[in-house]
Amino acid sequence: MSATLAPTAPAAPRTTRITGNTGTCGTTRSTGTTRPTGTTRPTGTTRPTGTTGTAGTAGTAGTAGTARIAAGVDRPSAATFWRRRLLVLAVLVAFAFLLTVAVGRVGAEAELNDRVAGHVVLQPGETLWDVAVATVPEGMDVRRQLADIEALNDLRAHEVDAWTVVLLPAR
Residues written for the chain: 171
Q: What is the set of domains in the chain, with CATH numbers?
A: 118-169 (3.10.350)
pTM as predicted: 0.37
CA distances (Å), origin 124, targets 128, 135, 162: 12, 18, 5
H-helix or E-strand spanning residue 133: helix 128-135
H-helix or E-strand spanning residue 66: helix 64-71
Cα–Cα distance, 140 to 133 (Å, whole number): 10
Cα–Cα distance, 23 to 20 (Å, whole number): 8
pLDDT value, residue 147: 93
- Kindly report, residue by residue over 29-58, the tens digit of the pLDDT: 555 555 555 555 556 555 555 545 455 445
Q: What is the mean pLDDT of residues 11-20?
A: 57
Pick 76 or 22 by higher pLDDT: 76
End-to-end CA distance of the chain: 140
Label residue 111 by pLDDT band (50, 70, 90). Answer: low
Q: What mean pLDDT is reported for the chain?
A: 73
- Kindly report, residue by residue over 115-146, the tens digit of the pLDDT: 788 889 999 999 999 999 999 999 999 999 99
51-85 core/surface letters (b: 16 or more CB in 10 A; e: else): eeeeeeebbbeebeeeeeeeeeeeeeeeeeeeeee
